[in-house]
């Protein structure tokens, strides 16, 4: 299985959502999982992963087994190859047992053109970084994901679910996602 994850915040609470799918061109997920994580703390510039990683690890704790690959919203390596980002910290926390692909919507200073991926008719690239697989393979996987636009449908969907969770949390209501 492949897991696409995203995290949103409301004050000191993180809301992680994940979509499990079997094939890169899947139109819909096989299952949806979510997890609320209290006490995530404030964002610290340059240490984004410290806020995001505990939420993703808590979400992974809800699964029966680790997926073979995780797609994150962000960078594995900030510069593409050596400066650790969220994805590298996740990979290390999982002892290298799961490959990670990072999909970022904006460039990080120092990221080269090799990491750009254009999807659909978009003139704005996505930035793809990875660990545990070759960059060309990671880019092929993201390019093959369902949807005609810049962002694959499943990545847009997991982002939307996270935002809805955070909004529901800020309204003081509990919202459990159905698990398929």
pLDDT tens digits, 57-68 = 999 999 999 999
CB burial of 93-109 (b: ≥16 within 10 Å; e: otherwise) equals bbeeebbbbbbbeeebe
**178 CB neighbour count, 10 Å cutoff:** 7
Q: What percent of the chain has pLDDT over 70?
A: 91
Longest dimension (CA), the chain: 44
Mean pLDDT along residues 159-166: 88
> Mean pLDDT score of the chain, rounded to an integer?
88
**Per-residue pLDDT tens over the stretch 24-40:** 999 999 999 998 887 77
| Token duo for residue 10 | 């409301």
Is residue 50 pLDDT above 70, yes or no?
A: yes
Q: Mean pLDDT across the stretch 114-121?
A: 93
Lowest mean pLDDT among 6-10, 22-26, 97-101, 104-108: 6-10
CA atoms 132, 134, 137, 141: torsion sign: positive
Tokens at 42, concatenated: 């404030």
Q: 60: closest CA among 50, 74, 72?
A: 72
Q: What is the pLDDT of residue 125?
A: 96
């Amino acid at each position: 299985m492949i897991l696409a994850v995203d995290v949103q915040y409301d004050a000191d609470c993180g809301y992680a959502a994940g979509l499990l799918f079997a094939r890169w061109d899947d139109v819909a997920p096989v299952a949806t999982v979510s997890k609320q994580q209290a006490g995530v703390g404030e964002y610290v510039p340059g240490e984004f992963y410290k806020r995001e990683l505990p939420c993703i690890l808590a979400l992974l704790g809800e699964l029966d087994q680790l997926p073979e690959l995780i797609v994150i919203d962000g960078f594995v390596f900030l510069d593409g190859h050596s400066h650790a980002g969220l994805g590298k910290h996740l990979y290390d926390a999982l002892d290298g047992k799961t490959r990670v692909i990072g999909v970022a919507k904006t460039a990080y200073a120092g990221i080269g053109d090799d990491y750009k991926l254009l999807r659909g008719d978009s003139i704005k690239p996505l930035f793809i970084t990875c660990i545990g697989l070759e960059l060309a393979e990671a880019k092929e996987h993201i390019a093959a994901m369902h949807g005609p636009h810049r962002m694959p449908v499943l990545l847009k969907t997991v982002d939307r679910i996270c935002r809805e969770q955070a909004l529901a949390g800020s309204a003081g209501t509990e919202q459990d996602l159905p698990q398929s």
